[in-house]
Amino acid sequence: MKYSEMTREQLIAEYEAVKEKYEELQGMGLKLDMSRGKPNKEQLDLSMGMVDALSGSDLVGEEGIDCRNYGVLDGIIEAKRLLSAMIECPVDQIIIYGNSSLNVMYDTVARSMTHGVMGSTPWAKLDKVKFLCPVPGYDRHFAITEFFGIEMINVPMTAEGPDMDMVEELVSKDESIKGIWCVPKYSNPSGITYSDETVRRFAALKPAAKDFRIYWDNAYCIHHLYEDRQDHILEILHECEKAGNPDMVFKFCSTSKVTFPGSGIAAIAASKANLDFIKKQLTIQTIGHDKINQLRHVKFFGDFDGMLEHMKKHAAVIRPKFETVLDALDTELAPLGIAEWTRPNGGYFISLDTPKGCAKRVVSLCKDAGVVMTGAGATYPYGIDPNDSNIRIAPTFPSTEELKQACVVLTTCVKLAGLEKLLAETNV
Amino acid sequence: MKYSEMTREQLIAEYEAVKEKYEELQGMGLKLDMSRGKPNKEQLDLSMGMVDALSGSDLVGEEGIDCRNYGVLDGIIEAKRLLSAMIECPVDQIIIYGNSSLNVMYDTVARSMTHGVMGSTPWAKLDKVKFLCPVPGYDRHFAITEFFGIEMINVPMTAEGPDMDMVEELVSKDESIKGIWCVPKYSNPSGITYSDETVRRFAALKPAAKDFRIYWDNAYCIHHLYEDRQDHILEILHECEKAGNPDMVFKFCSTSKVTFPGSGIAAIAASKANLDFIKKQLTIQTIGHDKINQLRHVKFFGDFDGMLEHMKKHAAVIRPKFETVLDALDTELAPLGIAEWTRPNGGYFISLDTPKGCAKRVVSLCKDAGVVMTGAGATYPYGIDPNDSNIRIAPTFPSTEELKQACVVLTTCVKLAGLEKLLAETNV
C-alpha cells in the first residue's frame, strides 16, 4: 500500500514498525560502505595478469621506441590505437596521459585559467567564468570548477540527458559560460545515456563564448552491465565536425575501471587544433608519461577486442550487485510510492530520489546504522541539492552479502525518513 | 701553445689545419647526439628487474593498502620511507607523486598562479612576478617560468653555488620575486654542489615576499660518479627550520635517472604547513598516483641501501663516459687556453665555456658535422646567454665510441670558432 494512501493511524503504526526495525539494525554494529564507485577485489583480481604482462619483453614499442627512456610526449602508437578505439576517435586525435583522467580534466581547466583556450583570454583575467553542471552529476567535476572559483549553474537531467533547451539558451546568450560537464554514457550517478537528439543538439550549439568547450567525460564508455542490453551513443567529435564546430569538445577516458584504478592510463581526444594548443603546455609540463604502463596495457589486452572481453568479466562480477540493490528497492520501496530510482545498463551507480527534503536525513540515518552513503548533496554543485532528495548508490565495492544488509538499512532509512516527513506534514 | 700567444701567421696556419680537419669530419657522415641528459641502454638494462619486481605479489602494501584500488593521496608508507631517505627528510614531510618531478614543479608554479602560496594573493592577479635563475641552469625550469609569464632574472653561479650577495639583496628588497630555481647538488649543467655556507645563507634569507619559495630540485642527490669523491650538501629543510624559515623551501626529487625515466616516481618534500596547502589542491586534482609503481620501486630496491648500491652500477657505466669527454677536453683544448669546463663528481652534465661569442657558432659547426649539442643559450632564461659562451655537454647517452668521435668534432669546432674569432679580432 502506498504511504500516500494510508491514514494517519496506519502511518503511525508503520512508523512504529519501521522504527523498531531501524533500531534493531542499529544494534547490529554494521560497518558497510556504498559511497564510492570503487571496483571490488574480485574485479581487481581480473587484471592480475597486468603484473607479469611485460615479463620477458625488452620494453621496446612497435615503432622502435625504447619505452624505458625519456621521450614520446603524447603516447606510444599502440596505446593510442587501443584508447582511440575505446574513445572512438582517430589515432591522430588523441593524447595518452598518465594514470588519471580526472587529472587531465583538472589540467584542462587549470590551463584555461592561466592560458585561455586556443588563444582566448586566460579565464583568471575575466571577472566571471561559469560552467553548466547537469544535475545530479559527478562531485569531482564540480570540485574542480569550484576550486578555480568558477560559478556553477545547475541544468536538470532528463531521461535523454541534460535539458537541452536550457543549455542552448544559456550558452548562446552568456559569454561567461565556458564549459559544461558531461558524463554522456551511463552517467554518474543516474546511469542515463544521452540520446542521439541530445548529442546532435550539443554538436550544434552556438555558444556566445568562442572558448566554450563541452567536457565530455566518457568514463563509462565500455562499462556495460549486460550483453543484450547496451546503450550506444553518437560520437560527439564527429558530430561536432559535421555541425561545423570541430573544436568545441574535449573527450576524456581512462582505464581506471578497466584495469587498476590509480594505475591505469588516461587520454584526451579533441580536434587537431585543440591538441596542438594542449601540446604547447604539455611540452613544458612533463617530458612524457609512463610509456611502460602504456605498453603493459597493450600487452595485457592485445587489442580492443581483448579489452571488450575483459569488460564482460567485470560485468559478470558487478551485475549481480546492481541487481541486488534494484531487487531491494523494488521489493521494499516500490509498493510504497515514496522513492524513484534508475535502472542503468552500465556504469557504476544507481541514482535514488527520496521524498523531497529527506536525502540528508536518510544518509544520516544510514550512517548511524553503520552504512556510509555518498553525502546527500554531493551530486550537486556546492553540495547543495535544492530538493534534498538525490542519493547516489555505489553498489560495486561491497560483497553481495554486505550489499544485501546495506540495502536493508538503506530502504529502512528511506521509509523512516519518508514517514517522519509524512507524519510531520499531516500533523497540522 | 696557447692561441693567445700565437702570432697572426701561426693562427692562420692553425686555422687552415683545423679547417681541414673539420672538413674531413664533415665528410664522415656522423650522426651523434650529446644534447640531452638521457641514460643509455646499458643503464636502463640495470633496472630490468623492475619488470618482474611484483611477480607473485598480491599488491597489498605493508599497511594493508590494496595498491590496485583508489585511495592514498600522498603515497604508500613504504614509498615515502624510500624517497624520504633519498631526499633526506622525515617521512611525514613528503608527498609521493607520479612519474615526473618536472610535472610536480610545473604544478607548484601553476597552483601559485591560480591559488597563491599558503594564503597569498594568486600570482595571476599580480602585475609582476619574478624568479631568480642561477645561470647557467636547467632549460626546463626556465621554460616553466617563461610559460607562466614570470620574469626571470639571471644570477651568476660561482664555484659555491649562486652569487648569494646578489640573491640576498634582490629577495630582500623586491616583493615581486617569488622564487629561485636551484639544482643544488651536481647542478645542471655545471656539476657544482652548493657549499655549506651557500645553503646556510639560503636558509637565512629574509625575502620581502612572504610567498617566496626556494625551488630546490635535488635531481641528482644520489647520482655520484665516484665512490671516493662524493659531494655532500647540507639538508635545506632542516637548515630553514633552524633559521626560522620552515616554510621557505620546496624540495623535489624523482627516480627518473635511478630506474626508468618516464616510469619512475617523484616526490615533493616541504614543511607540514606547505604540504597541507598542497594537499588541498591534490585532493581536487587526482584520486591518487600510481601506487603499484610505488610498490614496484620498493620491491625492486628493498630499501635505500639497495638504491645506493644500484646507483654504483649507474656510476660504473657513465663514469668512463665523463672521463672520455674530460680527456678529450684536457688533451685537445687545455693547452690552447681558449675554453674552460667543469669536472663534476656526479650528475649528468659537463659545462663548457667557449670564448665569448663563440657558443652558437660551435653548436652550429657541430651540427653541420653531424653532432647535436644542446642549443647554445639553452642554459639561460629566454635562451639568451649574454656571453654566448656556455655549452652543456651530456655524455651519458652515446656509446663511449660515439662519444670519442663526438668529442673530436666538438673540440675541433671549439678550436675553429675560437680561431675565427681571434683572426677577426687581430684583423684590424
B177 in the same domain as B264? yes
B50 within some domain? no
How high is the pLDDT of residue A428?
A: 58
How high is the pLDDT of residue A311?
A: 98
How high is the pLDDT of residue B36?
A: 85
A56 within some domain? no
A287 within some domain? yes
From the list A36, A113, A284, the residue facing B144 with the nearest CB is: A284
How high is the pLDDT of residue A181?
A: 98
Percentage, residues of chain A above pLDDT 90: 98
Which of B55, B114, B148 is the best residue to mutate to test the A interface, defined by the most A CB atoms within 10 Å of its own CB? B114
Would you state the torsion angle of the CA atoms of residues B169, B378, A71, B290, taken in this order, to the nearest 10 degrees? Answer: 0
pLDDT band at A159 (very low <50, low <70, confident <90, very high): very high
A297 in the same domain as A312? no
Alpha helix positions (H), B176-303 = 196-203, 236-242, 272-285, 291-301
How high is the pLDDT of residue B370?
A: 97
CATH classification of the domain holding B355? 3.90.1150.10
How high is the pLDDT of residue A90?
A: 96
Percentage, residues of chain B above pLDDT 70: 100
pLDDT band at A81 (very low <50, low <70, confident <90, very high): very high
A287 in the same domain as A205? yes
Residue of B nearest to A109 (CA): B285
Min Cα–Cα distance to chain A from B316, Å: 19
Q: Tens of pLDDT along B288-340?
A: 999 999 999 999 999 999 999 999 999 999 999 999 999 999 999 999 999 99
- DSSP single-letter state for residue A30: -
What value does the mean pLDDT of chain A take? Answer: 97
Percentage, residues of chain A above pLDDT 70: 100
pLDDT band at B260 (very low <50, low <70, confident <90, very high): very high
B181 within some domain? yes
A227 in the same domain as A318? no
What value does the mean pLDDT of chain B take? Answer: 97
Q: Tens of pLDDT along A247-285?
A: 999 999 999 999 999 999 999 999 999 999 999 999 999
Min Cα–Cα distance to chain B from A326, Å: 25
Min Cα–Cα distance to chain A from B368, Å: 24
The arithmetic mean of pLDDT across residues A103-123, rounded, is: 98
Is A329 within 8 Å of A341 (Cβ atoms)?
A: yes
Domain end (from A248, A271, A302) = A302
Cross-chain Cβ contact B106/A41 below 8 Å: no
- Stated pTM of the model: 0.97
B285 within some domain? yes
Between A and B, how many CB-CB pairs are < 8 A?
A: 149
Q: Would you mind telling me the total number of residues written for chain A in this entry?
A: 428
Indicate the number of domains in chain B: 2
A421 within some domain? yes
Chain B residues inside the 8 Å CB shell of A394: none
B274 in the same domain as B156? yes
From the list B36, B143, B262, the residue facing A289 with the nearest CB is: B262
- Closest to A420 in 3D by CA, of A359, A358, A377: A358
Chain A residues inside the 8 Å CB shell of B290: 98-99, 262-263, 290, 293
Cross-chain Cβ contact B69/A292 below 8 Å: no
pLDDT band at B428 (very low <50, low <70, confident <90, very high): low
At B361 the three-state DSSP class reads helix
Min Cα–Cα distance to chain B from A57, Å: 9
> Do the strands B151-158 and B161-162 form a parallel or antiparallel pair, or are they unpaired?
antiparallel
B294 in the same domain as B157? yes
- DSSP single-letter state for residue B300: H
Min Cα–Cα distance to chain A from B113, Å: 7
B309 contacts: CB under 8 Å, gap ≥ 6: none
How high is the pLDDT of residue A114?
A: 98
Chain B residues inside the 8 Å CB shell of A60: none
A13 pLDDT above the threshold of 70: yes
Min Cα–Cα distance to chain A from B229, Å: 28
DSSP codes, A120-157: SPPGGGSS--EEEEEES--HHHHHHHHHTT-EEEEEEE
The arithmetic mean of pLDDT across residues B192-207, rounded, is: 98
Cross-chain Cβ contact B292/A263 below 8 Å: yes
How many beta carbons lie within 10 A of that of residue B241, not counting itself?
A: 16
From the list A55, A106, A260, the residue facing B285 with the nearest CB is: A106
From the list A54, A106, A140, the residue facing B51 with the nearest CB is: A54
A145 in the same domain as A75? yes
Chain B residues inside the 8 Å CB shell of A293: 263, 290, 293
Cross-chain Cβ contact A281/B69 below 8 Å: no
A249 in the same domain as A117? yes
From the list B36, B284, B291, the residue facing A144 with the nearest CB is: B284
A357 in the same domain as A294? no
A54 pLDDT above the threshold of 90: yes
Is A110 within 8 Å of B109 (Cβ atoms)?
A: no
Cross-chain Cβ contact B69/A262 below 8 Å: yes
pLDDT band at B426 (very low <50, low <70, confident <90, very high): confident
B329 in the same domain as B215? no
Min Cα–Cα distance to chain A from B402, Å: 19
| CA gap B181, B137 in Å, rounded | 8
B284 contacts: CB under 8 Å, gap ≥ 6: A106, A140, A143, A144, A147
From the list A52, A144, A287, the residue facing B262 with the nearest CB is: A287
B138 contacts: CB under 8 Å, gap ≥ 6: B181, B183, B188, B189, B217, B379
A224 strand-pairing partners:
A346
Cross-chain Cβ contact B261/A70 below 8 Å: yes
B100 within some domain? yes
Q: What is the ipTM of this complex?
A: 0.97
B102 pLDDT above the threshold of 80: yes
Domain end (from B275, B302, B329) = B302
| CA gap A28, A406 in Å, rounded | 12
CATH classification of the domain holding B142? 3.40.640.10
B169 within some domain? yes
A86 in the same domain as A21? no
The arithmetic mean of pLDDT across residues B198-211, rounded, is: 98
Which range of residues forms the domain containing residue B242?
A: 61-302
Residue of A nearest to B148 (CA): A114
pLDDT band at A36 (very low <50, low <70, confident <90, very high): confident
Chain A residues inside the 8 Å CB shell of B110: 110, 114
B174 pLDDT above the threshold of 80: yes
Chain B residues inside the 8 Å CB shell of A262: 67-71, 287-292
A120 pLDDT above the threshold of 80: yes
B70 pLDDT above the threshold of 70: yes
Domain end (from B302, B327, B353) = B302
Is B249 within 8 Å of B213 (Cβ atoms)?
A: yes
B4 pLDDT above the threshold of 80: yes
B262 in the same domain as B199? yes
How high is the pLDDT of residue A5?
A: 94
Min Cα–Cα distance to chain A from B276, Å: 15
Which of B70, B129, B265 is the best residue to mutate to test the A interface, defined by the most A CB atoms within 10 Å of its own CB? B70
Residue of A nearest to B141 (CA): A284
| CA gap A57, A264 in Å, rounded | 19
Chain A residues inside the 8 Å CB shell of B75: none
